[in-house]
Amino acid sequence: MPQASIIVPAYNTAATLTETLASLLSQTHDDFEIIIVDDGSQDETPAIARAHATDPRVRVIRQENRGLAGARNTGIAAARGEFVGFCDADDLWLPEKLATHVRHLQAEPDVAISYSGSAMIDEGGRLMRVRQSPRLRDVTAAHVLKRNPIGNGSAAVMRKSALLDLAYRPAFETKRDWVFDETFRQSEDIECWLRLMLTTDWQIAGVPGLLTRYRIHATGLSAALDRQLQAWERMVDKLRPLNPEFFARHEAAARAYQLRYLARRAVSNLDSQKAWELAQRSASTSARPLIEEPAKTLTTIIAAAALRAVGPASVVQAGRLMRRQTSI
């Protein structure tokens, strides 16, 4: 039995899957399996996945499209490792990532999720100057709700026993348990991590370094940002009954952070109206981001304001400001 399983949810990712798999197959850790879950792709993904299955470490599972959460759940059900990592089929792992997290989880038996920071790459795979350098120690549920230190879907390696503590089976599900809630098409990560924090006594902790390369896709659609906000609100509505006092204390600040994040996304999309609206809503929802992270919050407001006042011509300045902060 392999000690670790890396789950690769893949949906129409022919352009990037080979590169992702190459980064996983060159992990320095010597005992792992890769489970590619082809989530009903219509492009060349199945063929690329099959071609890699000649490597004894690689398995491919194909299913009708169930979304990212559904692909991960299928991967978890098939995983044989004591440790389970996730890497989306367009992201990359640095060679020492798995070994680092396995060591960390072995040294800290009360830690369920080990994660690291990420460096962003663009659609062409070029390293951007933006990075995610999250808090690594003393992470509370409030940190997860407000700033989600795990950051993205390819940053975490988890203890399988902790995943099983989260597993449940909806009445209509006939195949296997759910760990991620498949009714979510966005915010499925944060929903799962926060549920872990609110219903179990597992801890989460990070290791230093930017061990993931996380690909940023320019969506450009303000409707996508609205959907993202809706999913986030649904996540909060779902989890609130677990601990109403916790949400009463932290919900407004967390919403302000979420709106600030979306405002920054809108700035990157050059959507001046949306960026301004979101920045304004963030500021009027709670002053916590301004107090806790003044530089980043002010940069967001200035970038949104500049974009609005000068229009796309200010992109360069706004871009510079965003890059000086070099995180999203």
Partner 1 sequence: MSKITVLHLVDDTTAGGVMRMLDHLSQLPELADEVHQEVRPVKRTAFSWGSFDADVIVCHIAPGWRCLPAFSALRAMHPTTRLVHVEHSYTRSFTALNVPHKRRFFAMLRVTYSLFDQVIAVSKAQAGWMAERRLAPASKLSVISPQVDLSAVARAAGPVEAARVIGAIGRLEPQKGFDLLIEGFRMCPNPEARLVIFGEGSQRDRLMALAAGDRRIEFRGHADDPAEAYRAVDVVAMPSRWEAYGLVADEARAARRPVIVSMVDGLRDRIGASGVIPCGSDPKAWRKSIEAVLAGTPPVVPVLALKADRSRYAQRWQQVFDPAKRL
Q: Which positions lie near partner 1, rule CB under 8 A?
A: 109-110, 138, 140-142, 168, 197-201, 203, 238, 241-246
Q: What are phi and psi of 212, to 5 degrees?
A: -115, 140
Nearer Cβ to partner 1 (246/257)? 246
Using the minimum distance from each CB to partner 1, give the nearer residue, 199 or 219: 199
Output the smallest distance, CB 135 to partner 1, in A: 13
Minimum CB separation of residue 236 from partner 1 in Å reads 14
The encoded tokens of residue 56 equal 């004894």
DSSP secondary structure letters along 107-139: H-TTEEEEEEEEEEE-TTSPEEEEEE----SS-
As a whole number of Å, the CA-based R_g of the chain is 20
Nearest approach, Cβ of 199 to partner 1 (angstroms)?
Answer: 6
Question: What are the E-state strand segments in the chain?
Answer: 4-10, 32-38, 58-62, 83-86, 92-93, 111-121, 127-132, 156-159, 203-215
Nearer to partner 1 (CB atom), residue 11 or residue 247: 247
Q: How far is the CB of 243 from partner 1 (least distance, A)?
A: 5
Length of the chain measured in residues: 328
Phi-psi region of 241 (alpha: psi -120 to 50; beta: other; left: phi over 0): alpha
Q: How many CA atoms lie within 13 A of 88 on its CB side?
A: 19
Do the strands 83-86 and 4-10 form a parallel or antiparallel pair, or are they unpaired?
A: parallel
- Least separation in angstroms between CB 169 and partner 1: 11
Nearest distance in Å: CB 86, partner 1 = 23
Which of 66, 68, 96, 75 has the alpha carbon at shortest distance from 5?
A: 75
Residue 142 CB, shortest distance to partner 1, in Å, is 7
What sections of 26-176 are H helices per DSSP? 45-52, 67-78, 97-107, 141-147, 160-166
How many helices (H) and strands (E) are present in the chain, helices listed first? 13, 9
Distance in angstroms between the alpha carbons of the first and the last residue of the chain? 38
